[in-house]
Amino acid sequence: MRLTRLQKILWAAAGLATLAYGLLVLLPNRASEAVPQAAFRPTFTLPDAEGRVRTPAEFAGQHLLVFFGFTNCPDVCPTTLSEVAQVMDDLGDDAALVQPLFISIDPERDRRLGLAEFTAAFHPSIIGLAGDEAQTRAAADSFRIFYAREGDAAAPDGYTMSHSPALYLIGPEGDWLRQFTYGTPATDILADLQPRL
Amino acid sequence: MKSLILSALLTLFAAPVLACETFTLGDLNIEHAWSRATIGADRPGVFYVEITNNGSTDDALIGIATPAAGMPMLHETVVTDGIASMPHAMSIPVPAGQTVELAPGGYHGMLMGLTTTLAEGDSFPVTLSFQNAGEVVVNVEVLSLRAEGPDCDDAN
Ligand SMILES: [Cu+2]
């Protein structure tokens, strides 16, 4: 069977239309699948370096960049905090719309070593939070993240911490928006963040 | 955006020199030895370096020593199922013909028991011990707390 040129064009048009219709039907479904059924709002009740208790309520309207870590962590933690600092620098005037939080998973030692000077060394905008054991565990559970104290005779004070090293983005209504896996460059975080502000 | 480009340019031009020094020990080339500034001396410091084995025999980094820390150790940061921990590395393989990096988020020298604050711009010696090649002393440049590595022209 030989098709005329017109027939070929018509078949091609029909094929394109089918494809376009398929995309129209499928794409919105995909998108709605990515949105969680109910908003996930992780929470915390933790004192800052001055002992003032902070909760998500006071940051309503701002985006939060939340990182769980410990200050005796010279390898992984500075990388993420440096990225956060770079993002805050590059945000310029929009920096006021974003609040970075460092939540200590080793709160007793971090308070003793100095929480405020640690966060300030990376960026003055970062608020360090360090509660007691129960408050810290509650915050981590709420964010659905893991941390544990591991005995290690060779480590300072005989222990070290293992923890989830990702960075979490919380929206202005307190909704979990996404996480940035460890090692996400500051430019990528910035590119994701800027259109949201 | 303008400030982004500007800060990128500044980073390029603010190339420190010391961390770009290359040290040779037999078939091993050792470069980009750097550390991060610390806040006081109570928290551990860190040591990073890049080792290239140009020979045909495998080697391994088996230890580090430095007057800057009472208890320097080799560590490896591992992220398993989204959890980061840093077990000791008994030795770090430096296979023939390959380059091994001690870099943020992987192998690193953990400088516990710092004898002094590591301030940006300072430098201190670290002795690297290899299984086959023996020992070599390298100069380590202290970069800012926010540094992710030295900016060397030859960095690739
Ligand atoms: Cu370590």
The DSSP-derived string for B74-106 is: EEE-EEETTEEE--B-S-EEE-TT-EEEE-TTS
Q: What is the pLDDT of residue B152?
A: 87
Domain coverage including residue B60: 2-143
Q: Which CATH number belongs to the domain containing residue B75 in this structure?
A: 2.60.40.1890
Domain count across chain B? 1
Chain A, nearest residue to B46 by Cα: A74
User: Amino acid identity of A177?
Assistant: L
Residue B26 has phi, psi (to 5 degrees) of 60, -120
Residue B156 in domain = no
Q: What is the pLDDT of residue A39?
A: 85
Q: What is the pLDDT of residue A20?
A: 54
Distance A71 CA to ligand 1 centre (A): 12
Residue B46 in domain = yes
Q: How far is A12 from chain B (nearest CA, A)?
A: 43
Q: What is the pLDDT of residue A45?
A: 98
- ipTM of the modeled complex: 0.82
Q: Report pLDDT digits (tens) over A15-58.
A: 555 555 544 444 444 444 445 557 899 999 999 999 999 999 99
Q: What is the pLDDT of residue B103?
A: 96
A182, pLDDT greater than 90: yes
B2, pLDDT greater than 50: no
Residue B153 in domain = no
Distance A72 CA to ligand 1 centre (A): 9
Query: Which of B36, B40, B84 has its CB closest to that of A163?
Result: B84
The verdict on domain A46-196 having CATH code 3.40.30.10 is: yes
How far apart are the C-alpha atoms of B91 and B61, rounded to whole Å? 6
Known binding site for Cu cation: residues of A?
73, 77, 163
Q: pLDDT category, A158, cuts 50, 70, 90?
A: very high
Q: What is the pLDDT of residue A38?
A: 73
Percent of chain B with pLDDT over 70: 87
Q: What is the pLDDT of residue A114?
A: 95
Chain B, nearest residue to A185 by Cα: B148
Query: Which of A72, A75, A154 has its CB closest to that of B104?
Result: A75
Q: How far is B56 from chain A (nearest CA, A)?
A: 32
Q: What is the pLDDT of residue B156?
A: 44
